[in-house]
Amino acid sequence: MTPKLVLFDLDGTLLNTIADLREAVNHALKLRGLPQHSLEVITQMIGHGARNLITQALPAELSDDDALIDAVLADFTDYYFAHIDIYTQPYPGIPELLKELHHRGILLAVASNKFQAGTEHLIKEFFPDIPFVAVLGNRPNKPLKPDPEIVGEVLRKVGVNKEEAVMVGDSPTDMRTAANGGIKGIIVGWGYRDTRDQTKRKIDPSESSGPEFFVAETIEELQRLLFN
């Protein structure tokens, strides 16, 4: 494959952030005496931005209360940003992979649905020596993945053609983003979504169109895909 540009998802791909997210969600719910959630339940809720996470975490009968969502989201964000790196760690092999990609002259970017300040903070903390060409998260007036705008933004910034780029993520949302943006995708097996039953082009092709995607269950498989 040997792309010129690799766009990485953040949560569940580069970093295991789920425990800190769970703590922040449950903190915001506990402040209001609302039911809290297990790690497994929170895991299924993430990937579509903080507001969607909070909406799903609220009891169903409260999930259309915009004022409540705003208030819980504010408490979640405050707590999470203050405790963003208590349990969070890179997945094994990721720092080494990023260094090798950079060493080979491959451009690196981050395309996440996490809020922008949190995305930037975690990248600076855990990968301070990696010169990412773009670190993009959830920003005002910018659509979330799987909208392809984030892909186009990075491609325009670095002047790379679609055929020379690939997106690496752990979810169907990431693969739809890649397909919608006209670039290849690689879905990894160590994140928050089960890839055991996913093979090439198996993520609902009716929802997107574009280049095929590949499955990398291990960091070694990802290395082979990116370096061949």
Residues catalogued as catalytic:
9
DSSP string computed for 80-122 = HHHTTTSS-EEPTTHHHHHHHHHHTT-EEEEEEEEEHHHHHHH
DSSP classification of residue 60: G
- Structure tokens of 28? 């915001």
- In 3D, which of 31, 29, 32, 57 has the Cα closest to residue 43? 57
Report which of 103, 115, 112, 209 is spatially closest to residue 153, judged by C-alpha positions: 112
Phi, psi of 33 (to 5 degrees): 70, 25
Q: Helix, strand, coil shares of the chain as percentages rounded to 5?
A: 45, 15, 40
Residue 150 · residue 142 · CB < 8 Å: yes
Say how many C-beta atoms besides its own lie within 10 A of residue 190's C-beta.
18
Where would I find the beta strands (DSSP E) of 13-97? Answer: 15-16, 89-90
